[in-house]
Amino acid sequence: MTNTPVHVTCPAGTITGYTIDTVNYFHSVDYSEIPSDFADARPLQAPRDQDARVPRPEAVALTITAPAETTDAPVLVYIHGGRYEHGTHEDPRAEGTANAQAGIVQVQVGYRVGLPGFASFRDDEAFRFRGIDDCQLALEWIQRNIESFGGDPTNVTLIGQSAGATTALWLMRRDHYRGAFRRVVALSPAFPLESNEKRKASLRRALGVPVTRESLAALPQDKLADGYSKFRKKHNLGMALGPAPFDAAEMVDIPLVVSSTRDEFYGIPVAQKIDSSPLRGIALRQIAPKFGFPPNSFGPWRQIASYIDKKRPLGRMIGDANIRRWVAQSADDAPGPTWMIEFTRSGRPALHCEELRFIFGVRDGESARTLNSWLHNFVRTGHTGFPEYRPDHAIWEYNLDSGDERVAHGSLDYVGAVFSG
């Protein structure tokens, strides 16, 4: 295959990418200016020409994959996951060729991760985080420029996975939403279990310096990394970084699809070790409060979790506390219409992130083509093809291996009952 250069002139300047067959690619396009690691980003101050033919996966940038000949195409914006510690806008699991071939303009957004993106400072505006504000600037860039790439800025769907889904839900908050997207798909969102204040105090102890822009900027990189590693160990079964607290009732009234995988974190080594121990019942009871289980809720939860899977109760507890509680809350309490999906597999657990290659059409096979086609339809029309979650707690179960599907009811009610009490 040969690459043919392609030039797009837009309000941000002339962007040079390349064409392969019927798809245009523009890699790592700068959408903001970041004066320093811990400073607030700002929009690009003037149009600039950019050569976007070579990926820069470490950059805070965005990548556009678009049909070579299109106008007014629906736009899909993807925010990557990675526990707010790693990840890239060049995430190969969400590469956009299949979507572009179906007539959709896809944009993959990068943002600051780690302490530059999510350390909380005293002068920060409440409920704002630099990493999420980076995504806000990317959405503003898309609104101003995507029409030049063939996209319709009035028909934007936002999709995120794990921490990216968390960001998507946070951008739905009434104090964040600016009309830059009209519907959301949140795949396995994960919020921190502790407040910003508690995590900030823990970070301060680990670093040995005040958590200020000046002190973090002055720390040598090796000491900053060592301090963060100590801090991270205190949150090894949850999110050390990220926005909190989450309240789905604070979101705007737009369509929302939320999902989880059936088994999420069964593959974590520490969970596998405890789940294989004869003392796992005692360990679970001791761990439950750290996951936010209210008093007297462990017993009823354990009864249902054992019915679902007797052999891996801690793996289920980690998934319930870090993922499924937020999926249930979002579906229950979001002001707008909601739908829920649960991804399963045949003969083995369905783990965190495994749905990505299927839903973006990166993986071969009929099941992936079906799920990718489902995404195309939702992005174009907002229609899911299965019942809304409310009032009957309907859940579309989709098997990633076989493509079998069915509508179940109330599968996560036990999780909602634990964490809403």
b/e per residue, 293-305, with b = 16+ CB within 10 A? beeebbeebbeeb
State the Cα–Cα distance between residues 175 and 330, nearest whole angstrom.
17
State the Cα–Cα distance between residues 160 and 169, nearest whole angstrom.
9
The yes-or-no answer on residue 148 being catalytic is no
368: number of CA atoms within 13 Å, CB side?
A: 15
Nearest residue to 111 (alpha-carbon basis) of 213, 243, 245, 254: 243
Tokens of 374: 């489902």
Nearest residue to 298 (alpha-carbon basis) of 125, 150, 185, 418: 418
Residue 302's Cα: distance from chain center in Å?
A: 28
Does residue 160 contact residue 81 with C-beta atoms inside 8 Å?
A: yes
State the Cα–Cα distance between residues 353 and 266, nearest whole angstrom.
12
Q: Which of 28, 32, 120, 162 is catalytic?
A: 162
Active site residues: 162
